[in-house]
Amino acid sequence: MSHQDHQLDPALARGLTMPRMSRRELFRYAGVGVGALGLSALLEACGTKGVTSSGSSAQASAGVGSQEWWAKQTLHHQLNFANWPYYIDTAHGKHPSIEQFQQKTGIQVNYTEPIDDNVTFYQSKLRPVLQAGQPTGYDIVVLTNNDWPLSQMMELGWLIPLNHEMMKNFDQYASHLVKDPTWDPGNKYTMAWQSGYTCLGYNTKYVKEPVTSVQILWDEKYAGKIGMFANAGELGSIGLLALGIDPATSTPDDWKKAADKLQQQKDAGIVRSYYDQDYIKALKNEDIWISQVWSGDVFQAATYQGYPQLKIAIPDEGAMFWTDNMCIPLLAENPLDAMTYMDYVYDPQVQALIEDYNAYVCPVPAAKEIIAKQLKDPTVANSPTVFPDAHMQSLSRNYYQFKNNEELTEWNNLFVPIFQ
Amino acid sequence: MSAIATTEPRSGSLTRPPARGARRRWTSFVLPTYSAAVILYLLIPIGIMILYSFNVSRSHLPNVTFKWQGFTTQWYQEWNQIPGLTPAFFLSLKLAFSSAVTATVLGTLLALALVRYKFRGKVVTEQILFLNIAAPEIVLGASLLGLFITLNLPRGFLTLFIAHVMFSIAYVAITVRARLSGFDMAVEQAAQDLGATPWVTFWTVTLPLIAPGILAGGLLAFALSIDDFITSTFVSGNSVTFPLWVFGAVKVGTPPQVFVMGTFIFTVGVTAAVINVLLQWRRERAARAYRASGA
Amino acid sequence: MEQPVRSDLPVAERKGARLGRRLAPYLLGAPASLWLALFFVVPMFTMLSLSLQTCDPVTLACRLTWHVGEFPQAVGEFHAYFLRSIQYGGAATVIDLVVAFPLAYWIAFRARRKSFFLLMLLLPFFVSFVIRTLTWQFILSDQGLILGTLKNLHLLPQDFHVLATGWAVTAGIAYNFLPFTALPLYVALERIDPRVLEAAADLYASRSMAFLRVTLPLAIPGIFAAFLLTFVPAVGDFVNATILGGTSNLMVGNIIQNKFLLFTDYPAASALSAILMAVLLVGIALYSRVLGSRTIEEYV
């Protein structure tokens, strides 16, 4: 009896000595541990290689885009053209200019409109594919120069240099605003599709004074009724213009001053909101009275949509001149067909067809006559925002061209927080 | 739809204690009036859309405008005259139908598994469902695109379909689950006692009873798919869905055909609903006649 | 003479029936689970692992460096956006629950043509989001149908505006997520057996007693599902803030969007996404515990 008192209760002994973990649990946790180790090794291996800037040297070494390379290209009679929606002549469910092209050259055009925004299109359709070394499926894409994807594609060597032997129409008819432009010296990679001005739009019902300067956007009189662009390129540029600085020649110090001025505008409660493209709705609905606008939008609203009180003003400081550019992405399958089309579009007859619909800034001044006489559309032909006169042209300002990614990041870091 | 019909008489036979005179008049109007008001409120933008689809627009590239400029049925006659818009419209419809049906099937099966059984990985599955709803769309889209590129899968309808089913399954499963929890298994056991195999039981007993949940899940999946924008942007390749096209056109303007197509969807939906009601009404009338004929 | 049938013996099971029962959940859940595993878990995990990597923004060459600095930075810099998102999403969810419950109740219990009203409830959401937003912007504009009329009647100050405020964003979210609230509520209410309510009435419960003590508790799975399907996606929403909001109404979804697209800062974007998902997961788990001792599994 007393012997038992000195012994541990067998149950307690069992409890003290049994493994805390059952065998099953042990395997489970071991499995998780091994899995975690394996996973981290996998992740290390899977760290995306990314693209090195040897992309451009790879291209240079392969000679893509050189004259020898172009000489070897043949017509495939097939073309994949990606554009922005609603940006080409449309009649009875067809695009007449494209129909004519197909008949004339025998090249079948697969015209699609998948681009809704430069950055989104680039990040979702171009970059991931090109980074993996695969063709994008497009032969021509249209990118704007007021956003960074176009310059990044040039920097990474993701655009095929154009064949200058095939740019006869362009050389002869292109307006000097799009020839040898700042964003693409010598038109190495791009030919303009359409251009536009970012200027001031205002509602004459509420704004009684003449609008001549961008300073009106800082006018306290219109506090809460001003719209600005939620786009770092546009916002920064107008900040620079307001300080009397030409964005194309600005320096990072200038940018900081511009950011301060924009921040002051925001803090004073002058800006109602920063808009993407739907400032035009706010203007029409009279939620804002003055805004940064694109010329074509206001033209259409005033001329065709019943808002004649909306007007455009080109401020004395200048208006930013943006261009949507046709370019050929790397690994395009039908580059020669692409060049054929791109030059075809610069034939004044063709351009007149396209321009009559778009009413943005036409890259071919000779089309003006044709629109006035043959298409009998004086509204478009005589609009200064479609065929800018010398005075308008003198007020064109160009965006700053970033030399590298650090500059772009610095610009974005200054201006994105203002509308974010 | 017939499944709904079999459940309706059940609730129609709800007997209430007889209400006192004045009170009955007031309270029995509140709920229906409120419901009508909510549904009408939801339909306000639709009404505006239908109204302005008849609006005149004069430019070469006609745009939707909210300034009334005159009445015209031109856009209905020219409803497919915008070359990029019509294929985008039908693509979205096709995609929404197919992905909704698939997601509903998969989600319902998953809900059945989750409610009725305990199995390994049940908790993990539930948390994955939850994270699926919580995940930001842009991360869903970009990550899926990375996978498709690695697998060398060409982007187009197939990848859109995969993505749409992927983000709809969780919504369907959770909706059907709300219907299944508390489902009285006695009904199923009774059916099996009467000789039905599990398969037959499922089709003739279980499925009709959970049909409202399945229908609700399917409608949700359809609504999710037809409006999806961000994820679709990443995985659509060269295909353009309806929301993608319209978002991109905003820079230049929205063609009136967009409103026409919206009206079209709405009209088809209303017609389907009305036809369903009429069919039910005819069935009920036939049933009443049958009963009344002294059966 | 016939042998009497003995009813106390177990019926011999078909070969494989037991195995079938064991495998049933796996077979039922397999298609959906595989789909999610391949097209959600794998890519999402890969993407979120970027939050621990360092990436060059131009070339997107990423290396796993186990750099955890993204997380505290994300929280420090953007905690206001998280709070605002929860605020807008939560308010919109509460509005939706309050608005949708009577409607779902009426369709489930009183309406004779349930599928008709369900469809009418859903139809506005089949018409594209772009169209809905365009028309709402028009209706709610400063001088539009509603505000303009009210201002002309001098019921509102002239500089009153709805758009570009937090209220507009919340209202937009509430409007666009209403079907996600109404449908689960309807589904849960619809399965309540009316005989239960009859029994309550038989036991002398008044209408409101029956509602509070019988209907509401039975509807709780539906309420929770509705809350889940509304609150969780609403917090991550960014479209309403972009279109209806002003300069100070942006949500965490907008930040993630910008980090991803504009800055190509994948580590930061992934970190923010991971934090968002974790916050929601923890929040819902806590909430479900408050609702009762039932765990999240029972409701989800």
* Strand, helix or coil for residue A306: coil
pLDDT band at A107 (very low <50, low <70, confident <90, very high): very high
Task: Determine, for residues B240 and A113 on separate chains, whether the beta-carbon distance falls below 8 Å.
Answer: yes
- Give tens-digit pLDDT for C71-105: 888 888 888 999 999 999 999 999 999 999 999 99
Task: Judge whether A119 is closer than 8 Å to chain B, CB to CB.
Answer: no
C162: left (phi over 0), alpha (psi -120 to 50) or beta: alpha
Domain boundaries, chain A: 54-195+322-386, 196-321+404-419
Nearest Cβ partner for A287 among C52, C161, C260: C161
Nearest CA in chain B to C138: B66
Report the C-alpha gap between B111 and A331 in whole angstroms: 46
Continuous segment of H or E residues that includes residue A397: strand A396-397
**Chain length of chain B:** 295
Bridge partners of residue A203, in order along the sequence: A310
Domains, in order of start, for chain C:
18-67 (no CATH), 69-299 (1.10.3720.10)
- Give tens-digit pLDDT for C99-122: 999 999 988 887 777 878 888 888
- Give tens-digit pLDDT for A335-389: 999 999 999 999 999 999 888 887 788 999 999 888 888 888 888 888 888 888 8
Q: In Å, what is the CA distance from B16 to each residue of A378, C109, C198, C207, C212?
A: 74, 12, 7, 9, 16
Beta strands in A204-295 (DSSP E): 226-229, 271-275, 290-294
Tokens matching residue C42:
């794998």
Task: Judge whether B71 is closer than 8 Å to chain A, CB to CB.
Answer: no
Answer whether residue B14 shows pLDDT above 70. Answer: no
Nearest Cβ partner for C58 among A46, A152, A287: A152
Task: Judge whether B244 is closer than 8 Å to chain A, CB to CB.
Answer: yes
Size of interface A-C (CB pairs under 8 A): 96
Report the C-alpha gap between B174 and B159 in whole angstroms: 24
Three state DSSP letters for B77-121: HCCCCCCCHHHHHHHHHHHHHHHHHHHHHHHHHHHHHHHHCCCCC
Report the C-alpha gap between B82 and A127 in whole angstroms: 29
What pLDDT, on the 0 to 100 scale, is given for residue A20? 53
Instruction: Tell me the mean pLDDT in the region C247-265.
Output: 83
Task: Determine, for residues A93 and B80 on separate chains, whether the beta-carbon distance falls below 8 Å.
Answer: yes
DSSP for residue B17: P
Interface test with B, best of A119, A147, A304 (most B CBs within 10 A): A304
Nearest Cβ partner for B249 among A85, A112, A285: A85
pLDDT band at C11 (very low <50, low <70, confident <90, very high): low
Bridge partners of residue A142, in order along the sequence: A326
What pLDDT, on the 0 to 100 scale, is given for residue A323? 93
Interface test with C, best of A40, A281, A404 (most C CBs within 10 A): A281
The angle, 0 to 180 degrees and rounded to 10, between the axes of the packed helices B21-52 and C114-122 is 40
Task: Determine, for residues A266 and C247 on separate chains, whether the beta-carbon distance falls below 8 Å.
Answer: yes
> Diameter of chain C by CA atoms?
101
Q: Which subunits sit against A, judged by 3+ Cβ pairs under 8 A? A: B, C
Answer whether residue B27 shows pLDDT above 80. Answer: no
Report the C-alpha gap between C138 and A190 in whole angstroms: 39
Pairing of strands A140-144, A190-203: unpaired
Q: Same CATH topology for A54-195+322-386 and A196-321+404-419?
A: yes
Answer whether residue B276 shows pLDDT above 50. Answer: yes
Asked if the interface predicted TM-score (ipTM) of this complex is over 0.85, the answer is no
pLDDT band at B11 (very low <50, low <70, confident <90, very high): very low
Answer whether residue A50 shows pLDDT above 70. Answer: no
Report pTM. 0.80
Cβ–Cβ under 8 Å, residues A297 and C153: no
For chain A, the average pLDDT equals 83
The alpha-carbon gap from C132 to the nearest alpha carbon of chain A, in Å, equals 14
Task: Determine, for residues C62 and A281 on separate chains, whether the beta-carbon distance falls below 8 Å.
Answer: no
What pLDDT, on the 0 to 100 scale, is given for residue A78? 94
pLDDT band at A11 (very low <50, low <70, confident <90, very high): low
Tokens matching residue B252:
């230049």
CATH class of A54-195+322-386: alpha beta
pLDDT band at A144 (very low <50, low <70, confident <90, very high): very high
Cβ–Cβ under 8 Å, residues A246 and A318: yes
Task: Determine, for residues A405 and C57 on separate chains, whether the beta-carbon distance falls below 8 Å.
Answer: yes
What pLDDT, on the 0 to 100 scale, is given for residue B275? 83
Task: Determine, for residues C127 and B49 on separate chains, whether the beta-carbon distance falls below 8 Å.
Answer: yes
Task: Judge whether C250 is closer than 8 Å to chain A, CB to CB.
Answer: yes
Interface test with A, best of C258, C260, C266 (most A CBs within 10 A): C258
Nearest Cβ partner for A412 among C55, C255, C262: C262
Interface test with A, best of C128, C138, C161, C264 (most A CBs within 10 A): C264
Report the C-alpha gap between B212 and B209 in whole angstroms: 7
End-to-end CA distance of chain B: 26
According to the per-residue pLDDT averaged within each range, which of A10-24, B243-257, C32-46 is highest?
C32-46
pLDDT band at C153 (very low <50, low <70, confident <90, very high): confident
Q: CA dihedral in degrees (B14, B16, B22, B27; nearest 10)?
A: -50
The alpha-carbon gap from B104 to the nearest alpha carbon of chain A, in Å, equals 28
pLDDT band at B12 (very low <50, low <70, confident <90, very high): very low
Task: Determine, for residues B84 and A113 on separate chains, whether the beta-carbon distance falls below 8 Å.
Answer: yes
Bridge partners of residue A323, in order along the sequence: A195
What pLDDT, on the 0 to 100 scale, is given for residue A97? 93
Task: Determine, for residues B119 and C29 on separate chains, whether the beta-carbon distance falls below 8 Å.
Answer: yes
For chain B, the average pLDDT equals 83
Tokens matching residue A5:
């008192």
Nearest CA in chain A to B58: A304
Q: How many CB atoms lie within 10 A of CB B212?
A: 24
Pick A130 or B6 by higher pLDDT: A130
Answer whether residue C251 shows pLDDT above 50. Answer: yes
Nearest Cβ partner for A274 among C58, C247, C262: C247
- Residues 132-171, chain A, touching C (beta carbon < 8 A): 152, 155-156
Task: Determine, for residues B63 and A137 on separate chains, whether the beta-carbon distance falls below 8 Å.
Answer: no
* Strand, helix or coil for residue A271: strand
Instruction: Tell me the mean pLDDT in the region C125-144.
Output: 79
Contacts of B175 in chain C (CB under 8 A): 183-184, 187, 225, 229
- Residues 27-56, chain A, touching B (beta carbon < 8 A): none
Answer whether residue C58 shows pLDDT above 90. Answer: no
Task: Determine, for residues A86 and B249 on separate chains, whether the beta-carbon distance falls below 8 Å.
Answer: yes
Nearest Cβ partner for A304 among B63, B66, B248: B63
What pLDDT, on the 0 to 100 scale, is given for residue A350? 92
Report the C-alpha gap between B63 and B85 in whole angstroms: 14
What pLDDT, on the 0 to 100 scale, is given for residue B60? 67
Residue with tokens 């969007």: C257
The alpha-carbon gap from A246 to the nearest alpha carbon of chain C, in Å, equals 24
Task: Determine, for residues C164 and A40 on separate chains, whether the beta-carbon distance falls below 8 Å.
Answer: no
For chain C, the average pLDDT equals 81
Interface test with A, best of B52, B60, B151 (most A CBs within 10 A): B60
Interface test with B, best of C11, C28, C133 (most B CBs within 10 A): C28
Q: How many helices (H) and strands (E) does chain A have?
A: 20, 10
Residue with tokens 């006035």: A372
Task: Determine, for residues B139 and C269 on separate chains, whether the beta-carbon distance falls below 8 Å.
Answer: yes
What pLDDT, on the 0 to 100 scale, is given for residue A12? 60
Task: Determine, for residues A286 and C143 on separate chains, whether the beta-carbon distance falls below 8 Å.
Answer: yes
What pLDDT, on the 0 to 100 scale, is given for residue B194? 86
- Give tens-digit pLDDT for A192-229: 999 989 989 999 999 898 889 999 999 888 888 999 99
Interface test with B, best of A124, A281, A356 (most B CBs within 10 A): A124
Nearest CA in chain B to A96: B83
* Strand, helix or coil for residue A11: helix
What pLDDT, on the 0 to 100 scale, is given for residue B157? 94
Report the C-alpha gap between C292 and A231 in whole angstroms: 48
Q: What is the CA radius of gyration of chain A?
A: 29
Task: Determine, for residues A84 and B248 on separate chains, whether the beta-carbon distance falls below 8 Å.
Answer: yes
Question: In this predicted structure, which of A329-338, B138-147, C123-132 has the lowest mean pLDDT?
Answer: C123-132
What pLDDT, on the 0 to 100 scale, is given for residue C5? 57
* Strand, helix or coil for residue A293: strand
Task: Judge whether A3 is closer than 8 Å to chain B, CB to CB.
Answer: no
What pLDDT, on the 0 to 100 scale, is given for residue B171? 92
Q: Which residues contact A178 (CB under 8 A, 6 or more apart)?
A: A191, A192, A195, A323, A363
The alpha-carbon gap from C235 to the nearest alpha carbon of chain A, in Å, equals 17
CATH class of A196-321+404-419: alpha beta
Contacts of B8 in chain C (CB under 8 A): 112, 114
Task: Determine, for residues C141 and A285 on separate chains, whether the beta-carbon distance falls below 8 Å.
Answer: yes
- Give tens-digit pLDDT for A53-84: 434 444 545 688 888 899 998 999 999 999 98
Instruction: Give the rounded percent of residues in chain C with a pLDDT score beyond 70.
Output: 88
Q: Name residue A296's amino acid.
A: G
What pLDDT, on the 0 to 100 scale, is given for residue C299? 45
Nearest Cβ partner for A116 among B60, B68, B244: B244
Contacts of A294 in chain B (CB under 8 A): 251
Nearest CA in chain C to B242: C128
pLDDT band at A35 (very low <50, low <70, confident <90, very high): very low
What pLDDT, on the 0 to 100 scale, is given for residue A86? 78
Tokens matching residue B151:
């697998």
Instruction: Tell me the mean pLDDT in the region C21-43.
Output: 88
Task: Judge whether A286 is closer than 8 Å to chain C, CB to CB.
Answer: yes
Contacts of A417 in chain C (CB under 8 A): none
Instruction: Tell me the mean pLDDT in the region B93-113.
Output: 94
Q: How many CB atoms lie within 10 A of CB B3?
A: 16
